Amino acid sequence: HGYQVLGLAEGSSFFSTLAQFQPHVVLLDLKLPGISGYQLLEALRQNIEFQHLPVIVFTAFAFRTERQRALQLGVQGYFVKPSHPEALVAAIEKVCAR
């Protein structure tokens, strides 16, 4: 789909990578080595530079409470693995069109 994508193996370099890469949207898993995706989301929302950066969650966490918590933290989409790629792409395109 022509997107430039940068993947991270761990969350410890999340903010330095955001500052350098300057993404239009973040795809975030909630289960990460060393830190939870919720911790990253909370820190992101408290960071004045990145608090409005759109986040779409792509995770194996299928419980309603997990989804509600992520939505309360301001995510623009919540997809449970496995998910249809077309729906994820549509969500990315919608966020990027704003």
pLDDT digit string (tens) for 39-52?
Answer: 999 999 999 999 99
Rounded mean pLDDT, 55-61: 94
* pLDDT higher than 90, residue 29: yes
Q: Which stretches does DSSP call E strand in 1-98?
A: 26-28, 55-59, 77-80
Is the distance from CB of 41 to CB of 70 less than 8 angstroms?
Answer: yes
- Tokens for 62? 């299928």
Give domain limits for the chain. 24-97
pTM of the model: 0.92
CATH classification for the domain delimited by 24-97, as one of 3.40.50.2300, 3.10.180.10, 3.30.70.20, 3.40.50.300: 3.40.50.2300
Mean pLDDT taken over the chain: 92
Is the distance from CB of 56 to CB of 29 less than 8 angstroms?
Answer: no
